[in-house]
Amino acid sequence: EAQVTQNPRYLITVTGKKLTVTCSQNMNHEYMSWYRQDPGLGLRQIYYSMNVEVTDKGDVPEGYKVSRKEKRNFPLILESPSPNQTSLYFCASSPQGLDEQFFGPGTRLTVL
């Protein structure tokens, strides 16, 4: 089944404890992206990647890192999480940037 998977789906952590949210797609898509969703703000793009080893900042990249070493994986790294990073995170992929983006199920992150 073609899909985008994210792990973990739920995470509660404490300020400053490094964490990684994994994202994987099995559709051989070139484009992958991370978004965060906050009440009243919609979805905002954090980082995106046009292809392997190519990443670019979105609208809200501060406090996040990404890497794209393999086509299928695009992990989101929070080196030192803070409470303002408590949010619902979505990973998405598409064959190319303008195509329909397929979204993962979301990761609910709480930073205490």
Residues in touch with another protein (CB under 8 A): 33, 35, 40-45, 48, 50, 58-59, 88, 90, 92, 96-98, 100-101, 103, 105-106
CB atoms within 10 A of CB 82: 11
Which residue type occupies 36? R
Task: Name the minimum Å distance from CB 56 to another protein.
Answer: 8
Q: Give the whole-angstrom CA distance, residue 48 versus residue 93.
A: 9
Q: 83 or 105, CB closer to another protein?
A: 105
Nearest distance in Å: CB 12, another protein: 17
Distance separating alpha carbons of residues 65 and 55, to the nearest angstrom: 10
Q: What is the smallest separation between the CB atom of 41 and another protein, expressed in angstroms?
A: 6
